[in-house]
Amino acid sequence: MSAPRETHPPDLEEAAIWQLVEFGSYEADLPIWLELAEAADGPVLELGAGAGRVSLHLAAEGVKVIPLDRDPGLSSQLEASASERGISLSPVIADLGSPADVRLPGEPALAIGPLHFIQELDDMGRPALLGRLAELMAPGATIALTVVDETTLLSAGAASTQILPDMRELDGWVYSSEPLWVQVGDETLTVRRLRERVSPYGQMERTVHDDILRRVSP
């Protein structure tokens, strides 16, 4: 009798799974987001909140957070994770690539953009988003965005003979995401990853995933 075939853990969306694998254990930036949030006089808007790595941390510290993401699956996962922790979060589903359509439940005093989401927007999308935020946020608000420093990234890769993959076990599935290479072009920065997952029955699936970011200096 052959083992049944499953495609992923039934309680998690695909995008949420890979966010947890590749970024879920990253904590180095959390203190700065908390410091900025505590200094803000009002709610904090997280742009591209995803599965909630940062929003959940801030909310657990008593910060009023407005998580925003375009992916309904990720937003649902964030809301469920918050409920499991006894935290109240109401994600806003909106596409930052169409900023004119963004609506918020209040005026944030701080907007944060972890994980280089700003580099996913093109040369027209970035100023359009910033202009829309100027309309939506409280007077005197602050915007803090993460930007990849490709020079540091490349030098770190060159200094290492092997970069260990990000790994996580979820409901008997084992996930692995290994950075293969970084390609820097005149306009874009491409990070290629080899994604692997092994089911509880030993079946392995492999895919190649590219993150394509526009080159943006601070």
What sign has the CA pseudo-torsion 35, 41, 43, 46? negative
The dotted CATH code for 17-145 is 3.40.50.150
CATH of domain 156-214: 2.20.25.110
Domain limits, CATH 3.40.50.150, in the chain: 17-145
Q: Considering only CA atoms, which of 83, 13, 7, 91 is closest in space to residue 48?
A: 91
Helix (H) or strand (E) holding 92: strand 92-93
pLDDT tens digits in sequence order for the chain, 218 residues long: 444 445 555 455 687 788 889 888 889 999 999 999 999 989 999 999 988 999 999 999 999 999 999 988 889 889 999 999 999 899 999 999 999 999 999 999 999 999 888 999 999 999 999 999 999 999 999 999 999 877 766 665 554 456 788 999 988 999 999 988 888 888 998 989 999 999 999 999 999 999 999 988 87
Q: Where in the chain is the domain with CATH 2.20.25.110?
A: 156-214
In angstroms, the CA 44 to CA 55 distance is 9
